[in-house]
Every structure is written in C-alpha cells, then in structure tokens.
C-alpha cells in the first residue's frame, strides 16, 4: 500500500510525542529544575524530549571537564598566598597556541632566578582548552577550570591576580584529582624527608 | 577473518633501470622516480601491479635545495601501498608531469600543491589556485614564506619565557590586523579579477531553437548556503534545472593547518587535529598518533588500544546519526529527524566529556596510549548505550525513514557514482562502499586491534543516494557490534606505554598513518628530521579528496540533487579547507 512507510514514520513521531508526556507524568514534579531530573534526562533510559533549559537549568560538568586554566595558591602560615608555580616554564613551552606568558623572578641581590613568577599572563582568547599545561605541570600549580561562562565584551587577557584561585577551590571542583595529587605530594615529601634524615 | 598477503614483490628499480631507485635516506622507504618517467611508472603501477587507488599526493620542501612530490597508491583489494617520489631542484619554475590523466583523483591535490608549494603540473586540466585566492602573493607552505604574525620557525617561542611580557599579536603587525601586503604594493594600481579564471573553466552554451535564443545561466551556490553546512561554494551552469557544469570553490576556512603543524612540536599538533573534522576528534587523533608512533617505533598499551577503538566507533556512530539527520533537514523534513539524531549524539558526547574533558575537542590520544582512563561509572554508561539504546535508535531510524515513500522517490535511482569511477577519483569511505567496492582500511590494512573483532564491511551496490543513506545505518550497526565486543574484552592495565613527557624524541624518517575515519580514509604523512618539530605534516583529508568528483557526480542531475549529493558526501569544512 502506498503511504504505509509514511504512516509508519509518523507513528514514530507520535510515539515520541506520547513518550514526552508519559515521562513527565512518571517523573511528576522531579523531571525539571532538579538534579535527579537532569541526571535522569541525560541517562540512557530517558524517553521523549530531553532538552535542558539553559540557563535556568545547567548540566553538571564532569570532573575532567576543562576550560581556561587558573593558578593555584595555598594559604600560607602568615595569611599570605603561597603560589605553587615555580615559573619553570613547562606550561609555556608545551602550550600549543602559545598563549602563556611568564616573567621569571630574579633575586634582587644576586640576580639569580628564584622559583616564583613575577607575572603570569594567559590570553584566554587564544587558549584552546587542550589541558596540556595542567597535564604536564610537575607542581599541580596550573589547573583547568570548570567556569565556562566567561564571555565578555573585551579581550580576555588574564594576569596573575585574575588567575590565582585557592587550593580549596581546586578541591571543590576536582575532588578526586585533588586527592590523588595530594597523596603524591605527601609521598614525595615523605621520601625527601627520609632521604634528608638518612643523609644527616 | 582473513588478512591479505602481498603476493607479488614490487621492484621498481628492476622494472625501470636507471629511472627508479630505492629511497635510501635513513627512515625513508620505497622509491624515487625520475621526473620524465613518472607517467610511465604510474601507469605501470596502476595497470600491471593493480595499485588502482591513489591515496594521496603531496609536496615536501627540502629547503634550500630541492622539492619533492610524494605519491602513495593502494590496492582496493587491500594490503600495503606503494610510495614513490619525484625530486626536482628548487629553482622556479618547478615543473612535474601531472598524474591526473591516470588517477583523476589527483586533480585537486595537484592544484593544492601548486597553490601551496608553487610546483607546476604540466598537462593538468585546470591548474588554478584552490585554497588561496587568485592574486595571492607567494606559496605559503614553502619554508621561506612567512605569515603576518611570524615570530620564529619553531615553537616553543622564545618570547614567552622566561621574560614573557604580554604583547598582542595584532600590535606586532604594522597594519594592526591579520594583513600582509607584498613589497611596493599599491592597491590603486592592481586590479585582480579572481572570478574570471573560475568562470572561464565552466562549460557554457548558447542554442537557437525555433528562433528563440537560449543562453546559459550561472548560479553560485554559496558560500553562504544552508546546504553546504559551512562556507563552501559551487559555481554551477544550468540548463533549466539541469546542471551542465560545476566547479567547487573552497578555502574560505583555510588557516594553513599544515604550516601551523610544522611550527608546532609533535605533541602540540594533537589538539590541532581535533579541529579538522570537528565531529570526530577522537578518530582524527588516532591517525596522527599512528603516524608518530610508527616513527617512534613504540607499542601502544593494551587497554589504550581498546579505549581508542571504543571512542572511535562511538564517534563514527554519532557522525552517521548527524549525517542522516542533517540530510533530512536538507531534503526539507525540517528539524524532526535532525533533533532525533542529536539525542543519542548528546549521550555519546557526555561520555567523551566525562573521559577526555571536552565534548568535541577531545585531545584524547597521547603517543603510546591515551590521556585519561575511564572515570568510575562511564564503562557502565557505554555498556548501556551499546547494548540497549543505540540498537534501538538504529531501528527507530529504520522505521522513521527507510520505507517512507516520499524519501524513497527522492533518493532511489539518483546515482552518485559507480564503482569504477569512484576508485578512479580516489573516493574512500561510505561513498565508495555504497558504490560496491568493499574497501575499508579497518580490513584492508588493519590498524590498532581491529583484526581482533568480528564485523562485516558494510556494502551496498547501486551507488545511488538511497544506498548512501542505507550504508550509514549498516555502519552504525557494525560499529555497535564492534563496541559490544570491545566493551566485553577490555582488559585492566596502564593506559600509556610511555612515561608522560611534554617533548617527545622522534627519530628522523617518514611515516604515513591512516585510519578509516567516518568520512573516509584519513591519513597523516609526517616527516621528522630528529628535531622536536615535524619537518612536514600533511593531512590526507577525506572530505577534500571526496569532493574532487563533485562535478562528475552532479552533471546531468537537477540542481536540487546537488544539495542531497553534498549531504551524502559528508563534507566538513574544517577538514576540507584545513
């Protein structure tokens, strides 16, 4: 019969239409604007329309999600900021679009370089969010951020003041990574202390 | 599963004494052919040895003394290819005979070499610039050509560290813009008509019938046209609604990817490959890592091999879903099928995001493995998709479209290409298989661990639009089969066989890594000189080479069919223009 295929196809759209409302009824009051509803709508079992109404609703980002990086500082004992970066320059060297600029500090007396950056720029307009800087940083000093709402009317060239964020923020967005890095650091420090103890 | 074995040993030096010699440079292989004998050698390779599919043609600039043109041909029955090169002194005018009469698929690639390297191909039917515009000064891939924001030949740039005071790139250019003029350029005096050479190549006609004079009409489809899914233009000569002649115009998205690639270090190229075919960054990464791993001569960690297969096949599924959805959009079904296709894609991209960190620009592969292991729960998600959701989806598309009479009457019998022409024009991927040639790199020359899986090469025989649609559904089903096996077999273990290092040591030599990308054979031809940066980084982009036969496909059909043919060809402009 001519038209059978069309009717079959329309059956699919009709089923979709019904599914959307059936899923709404099944998940009454929980499907929208709730974390469990969003999780349901991005699982394989969801039926019907599963649009997420951005910006009223936002999809949670997974831990590995990467966006323009930031610099990590630890809270110092005197309340100051202990910047983890040692200005070794690996991130600037590995950066594919070369959007990282680092000014290394020199000791004012001896003129020799000290492990601390004077200035640190990231041109976020050029940054391609590849994550190499964070991946190859030996000190976990530069981390990919989760904040993706950075559109602006100007060019986004971030300096060190704008880039610095506390280690607690790092912990809050990437708990598993933070824990892993922390354990590694502790193990390294313990090994160093043991070595120093053995030497003396 | 059968693996094809090379039965005949190929010795070009014995066959052509004096005009073909083995390439003995360290790390290089195969043959160097005398320029005058090139056409003869190529004909022999095609007709006697059966290398019927010319995979890629590219140039290499061995600054300062010579230029090289590299050809690689494969057999459609499978097995390794033959690589042969022509060397010419680097003094203008550089001339090499064209192989377009032997393999018509070389036409656009030779135009590209002329455009970017300034090597003239004698006997070429239509040697114009292809990616740059008429009147462009210089040939950008030559090593002595410098771009407006030029700083140094190789990254990392010295201005970034240890004294990296930020300066914006535009400020370094005298025009404060991405502009560069030749010396003594006076815009008042120069008048370039870039369109005239294009329109000259179109076949025109005037007929007088019963005292009524009929003239041709030239229509420009694009550059801004919804059917092209980007900025692509075709100049078309029409007779009523029928296409008489057609020339594609491209390069609107050209950024000289290969020049950028030669400035980058080996690792830095990885995220750039994402941006070629931006739907399938997972497979783009693979081709490049294959080539570099071949050069470095390293093995890939076992678990990483499985992760690569899983990601590449998921990527193929979402690519084909989008293709079908957007094809229906082009056909006038508006957005319903397109959005149905986007749903499963969304679920697949969630997996990419959770694993690699980004939905589309995944940057997932590293030399020797992958960058991250699957986070907790993601393997379960993949299993749910491939066992349950995706097979259901393929069936749903079947019900939605496959028997639809309007769809069938529009698609069936509109022939895109027959098998013989498709091979001649170097077409690869689903379009070639829909024409009836069972050529799939995963089987023809298995890479990674594809020899371990049980799957069929999807094949259709008519080569019309309808078959081109059906083969996409077939491929989705075969990919699901591969995924089901891969998810079951995946072992535990490390995800990289190498130590993480931000600058890899790559021994000197050449390598060609190719994979079966969703759009066709995607290959990377990489030359290393032992330094941190590649000397040559060439992308064999399936979109670009499949488009070579566009005129052949469209002539004699209705202008409305052009939109659908472009739709099933599955071009992505990020890869086509590079």
Residue holding tokens 């393997």? B379
Structure tokens at A160: 């060190």
Residues in A closer than 8 angstroms to B502, CB to CB, are: 90, 93-94, 132, 136
- Per DSSP, the residues of B86-114 read EEEES-SSEEEE--TTT-GGGHHHHHHHH
Residues of B (153-182) whose Cβ lies below 8 Å from A: 155-157, 159-166, 168
Q: Cβ contact (<8 Å) for B343 and A104?
A: no
A71 touches A91 (CB < 8 A) = no
Q: CA dihedral in degrees (A127, A130, A131, A132; nearest 10)?
A: -100
Architecture of the domain made up of A69-199: 2-Layer Sandwich (3.30)
Show the domains of chain B with their CATH numbers: 12-122 (3.30.460.80), 290-538 (1.10.645.10)
User: Nearest residue of A to residue B366 by CA position?
Assistant: A132
Residues A30-66 have pLDDT tens digits of 888 888 888 888 888 888 888 888 888 888 889 989 9
Least CB-CB distance to A130: which of B271, B355, B372?
B271
Q: Count Cβ atoms within 10 A of the Cβ of residue B55 and give its class: 0-12 exposed, 13-18 middle, 19 or more buried.
A: buried
B503 touches B21 (CB < 8 A) = no
Nearest to B309 by CA among B365, B268, B358, B266: B365
Coil, strand or helix at B288: helix
Bridge partners of B238? B217, B243
Coil, strand or helix at B25: coil
Taking the Cβ of residue B29 and every Cβ of chain A, the question of whether any pair is shorter than 8 Å is answered with: no
B141 touches B61 (CB < 8 A) = yes
**Radius of gyration for the alpha carbons in chain B, expressed in angstroms and rounded:** 24
Q: Cβ contact (<8 Å) for A132 and B500?
A: no
Tally A–B CB contacts below 8 A: 148
Bridge partners of B513? B524
Residue holding tokens 């009836």? B436
Structure tokens at A16: 């979709």
Q: Tell me, what's the pLDDT at A200?
A: 65
Structure tokens at B27: 């790390």
Residue holding tokens 């600054």? B63
Q: Cβ contact (<8 Å) for A5 and B403?
A: yes
Tell me how far apart the alpha carbons of residues B4 and B388 are, in angstroms, rounded to a whole number.
35
Q: Tell me, what's the pLDDT at A39?
A: 87
Tell me how far apart the alpha carbons of residues B246 and B76 are, in angstroms, rounded to a whole number.
28
Distant-in-sequence, close-in-space partners of B496: CB < 8 Å, separation ≥ 6: B301, B304, B366, B368, B369, B370
CA distance B197 to chain A (A): 36
Coil, strand or helix at B273: helix
Q: Tell me, what's the pLDDT at A180?
A: 87
Structure tokens at B184: 């003594």
Tell me how far apart the alpha carbons of residues A119 and A159 are, in angstroms, rounded to a whole number.
7
Tell me how far apart the alpha carbons of residues A38 and A30 are, in angstroms, rounded to a whole number.
9
End-to-end CA distance of chain A: 94
Taking the Cβ of residue B399 and every Cβ of chain A, the question of whether any pair is shorter than 8 Å is answered with: yes
Q: Measured on CA atoms in the order B326, B328, B332, B336, is the torsion positive or negative?
A: negative
B291 touches B561 (CB < 8 A) = no
Taking the Cβ of residue A146 and every Cβ of chain B, the question of whether any pair is shorter than 8 Å is answered with: no
Do the strands B224-225 and B233-239 form a parallel or antiparallel pair, or are they unpaired?
unpaired
Tell me how far apart the alpha carbons of residues A185 and B191 are, in angstroms, rounded to a whole number.
66
Tell me how far apart the alpha carbons of residues A14 and B4 are, in angstroms, rounded to a whole number.
49
Least CB-CB distance to B502: which of A87, A94, A155?
A94
Where do the structural domains in chain A lie, given as residue ranges? 1-60, 69-199
Residue holding tokens 């323009």? A68
Residues B300-340 have pLDDT tens digits of 999 999 999 999 999 999 999 999 988 888 888 888 888 88
Q: Which DSSP letter does residue B464 get?
A: B
Residues in B closer than 8 angstroms to A135, CB to CB, are: 371, 500
Kindly report the CA angle at B384 between B383 and B387, in degrees rounded to 5?
A: 75
Q: Tell me, what's the pLDDT at B3?
A: 44
* Cα distances (angstroms) measured from residue B222 to each of B236, B354, B560: 11, 37, 14
Q: List phi, psi (to 5°) of A143.
A: -130, 145
Taking the Cβ of residue B403 and every Cβ of chain A, the question of whether any pair is shorter than 8 Å is answered with: yes
pLDDT (tens, 9 = 90+) of chain A, 200 residues, equals 788 888 988 999 999 899 989 988 988 888 888 888 888 888 888 888 888 888 888 888 899 899 999 999 888 888 788 888 888 889 999 999 999 999 888 888 888 888 888 889 999 888 999 999 999 998 889 999 998 888 889 888 898 888 888 988 999 998 888 888 888 888 888 888 888 877 76
Least CB-CB distance to A96: which of B160, B272, B356?
B272
Q: Cβ contact (<8 Å) for B156 and A98?
A: yes
Residues of chain B with pLDDT under 70: 1-9
User: Nearest residue of A to residue B392 by CA position?
Assistant: A44
Q: List phi, psi (to 5°) of B333.
A: -80, 5
Q: Give the H/E segment covering residue B233.
A: strand B233-239
Distant-in-sequence, close-in-space partners of A132: CB < 8 Å, separation ≥ 6: A91, A94, A95, A96, B267, B268, B271, B363, B502
Q: List phi, psi (to 5°) of A144.
A: -75, 135
Structure tokens at B259: 């020049």
Q: Cβ contact (<8 Å) for B400 and A98?
A: no
pTM: 0.90
Q: Which of B317, B359, B502 is best to mutate for the A interface (most A CBs within 10 A)?
A: B502
B135 touches B192 (CB < 8 A) = yes
Q: Helix B302-328 crosses helix B390-397 at what angle (to 10 degrees)?
A: 20
Tell me how far apart the alpha carbons of residues B499 and B113 are, in angstroms, rounded to a whole number.
38
Name the strands in the sheet holding B20-22, side by side, starting at the edge strand that comes first in the sequence: B20-22, B31-33, B82-89, B66-74, B53-62
Q: Cβ contact (<8 Å) for A96 and B372?
A: no
A160 touches B165 (CB < 8 A) = no
Do the strands B31-33 and B82-89 form a parallel or antiparallel pair, or are they unpaired?
parallel
């Amino acid at each position: 019969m001519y038209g059978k295929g069309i009717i079959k196809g329309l059956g699919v759209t009709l089923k979709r239409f019904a599914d959307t409302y059936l899923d709404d009824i099944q998940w009454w009051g929980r499907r929208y604007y709730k974390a469990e509803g969003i999780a349901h709508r991005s699982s394989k079992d969801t039926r019907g329309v599963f649009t997420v109404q951005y910006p009223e609703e936002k999809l949670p980002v997974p831990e590995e999600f990467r966006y323009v990086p930031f610099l990590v500082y630890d809270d110092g004992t005197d309340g100051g900021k202990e910047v983890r970066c040692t200005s070794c320059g690996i991130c600037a060297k590995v950066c594919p679009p070369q959007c990282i600029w680092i000014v290394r500090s020199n000791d004012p007396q001896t003129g020799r370089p000290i492990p601390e950056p004077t200035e640190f720029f990231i041109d976020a307009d050029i940054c391609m969010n590849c994550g190499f800087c964070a991946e190859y940083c030996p000190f976990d000093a530069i981390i990919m951020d989760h904040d993706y709402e950075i559109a602006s009317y100007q060019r986004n060239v971030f300096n060190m003041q704008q880039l610095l964020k506390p280690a607690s923020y790092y912990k809050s967005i990437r708990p598993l990574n933070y824990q892993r890095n922390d354990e590694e650091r502790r193990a390294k420090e313990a090994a160093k202390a043991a070595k120093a103890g053995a030497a003396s | 599963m059968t693996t094809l074995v090379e039965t005949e040993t190929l010795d070009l030096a014995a066959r052509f004494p004096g005009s073909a010699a083995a390439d003995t440079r360290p790390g290089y292989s195969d043959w160097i052919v005398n320029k005058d004998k090139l056409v003869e050698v190529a004909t022999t390779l095609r007709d006697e040895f059966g290398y019927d599919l010319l995979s890629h043609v590219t140039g290499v600039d061995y600054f300062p003394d010579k230029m090289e043109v590299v050809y690689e041909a494969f057999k459609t029955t499978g097995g390794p290819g033959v690589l042969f090169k022509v060397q010419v002194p680097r003094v203008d005018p550089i001339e090499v005979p064209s192989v377009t009469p032997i393999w018509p698929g070389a036409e656009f690639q030779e135009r590209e070499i002329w455009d970017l390297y300034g090597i003239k191909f004698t006997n070429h039917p239509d040697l114009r610039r292809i990616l740059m515009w008429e009147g462009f000064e210089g040939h950008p891939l030559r090593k002595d050509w410098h771009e407006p924001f030029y700083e140094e030949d190789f990254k990392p740039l010295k201005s970034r560290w240890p004294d990296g005071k930020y300066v914006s790139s535009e400020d370094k250019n005298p025009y404060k813009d991405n502009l560069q003029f030749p010396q003594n350029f006076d815009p008042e005096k120069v008048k370039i008509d870039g369109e005239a050479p294009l329109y000259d190549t179109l076949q025109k006609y005037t007929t007088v019938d019963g005292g009524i004079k009929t003239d041709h009409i030239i229509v420009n489809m694009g550059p801004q046209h919804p059917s092209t899914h980007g900025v692509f233009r075709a100049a078309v000569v029409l007779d009523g609604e029928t296409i008489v002649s057609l020339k594609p115009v491209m390069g609107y998205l050209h950024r000289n990817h290969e020049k950028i690639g030669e400035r980058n270090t080996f690792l830095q190229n990885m995220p750039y490959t994402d941006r070629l075919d931006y739907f399938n960054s997972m497979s783009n990464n693979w081709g490049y890592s294959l080539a570099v791993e071949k050069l470095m001569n390293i093995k890939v960690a076992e678990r990483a091999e499985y992760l690569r297969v899983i990601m590449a096949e998921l990527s193929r599924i979402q690519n084909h879903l989008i293709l079908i959805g957007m094809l229906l959009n082009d056909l006038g079904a508006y957005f319903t099928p397109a959005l149905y296709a986007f749903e499963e894609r969304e679920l697949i991209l969630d997996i990419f995001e959770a694993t690699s960190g980004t939905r589309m620009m995944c940057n997932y592969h590293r030399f020797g493995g992958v960058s991250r292991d699957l986070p907790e729960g993601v393997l379960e998600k993949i299993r749910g998709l491939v066992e349950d959701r995706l097979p259901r989806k393929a069936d749903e598309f079947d019900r939605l479209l496959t028997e639809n009479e309007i769809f069938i009457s529009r698609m069936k019998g509109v022939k895109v290409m027959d098998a013989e022409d498709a091979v001649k024009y170097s077409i690869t991927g689903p379009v070639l298989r829909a024409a009836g040639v069972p050529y799939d790199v995963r089987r023809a020359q298995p890479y990674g661990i594809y020899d371990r899986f049980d799957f069929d090469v999807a094949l259709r025989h008519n080569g019309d639009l309808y078959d081109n649609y059906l083969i996409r559904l077939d491929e989705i089903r075969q990919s699901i089969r591969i995924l089901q096996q891969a998810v079951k077999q995946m072992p535990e273990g490390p995800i990289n066989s190498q130590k993480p290092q931000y600058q890899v040591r790559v021994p000197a030599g050449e390598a060609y890594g190719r994979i079966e990308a969703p759009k066709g054979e995607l290959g990377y031809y990489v030359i290393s000189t032992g330094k941190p940066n590649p000397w040559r980084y060439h992308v064999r982009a399936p979109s670009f080479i499949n488009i070579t036969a566009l005129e052949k496909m469209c002539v004699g059909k209705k202008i409305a069919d052009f939109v659908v043919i472009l739709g099933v060809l599955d071009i992505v402009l990020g890869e086509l223009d590079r």
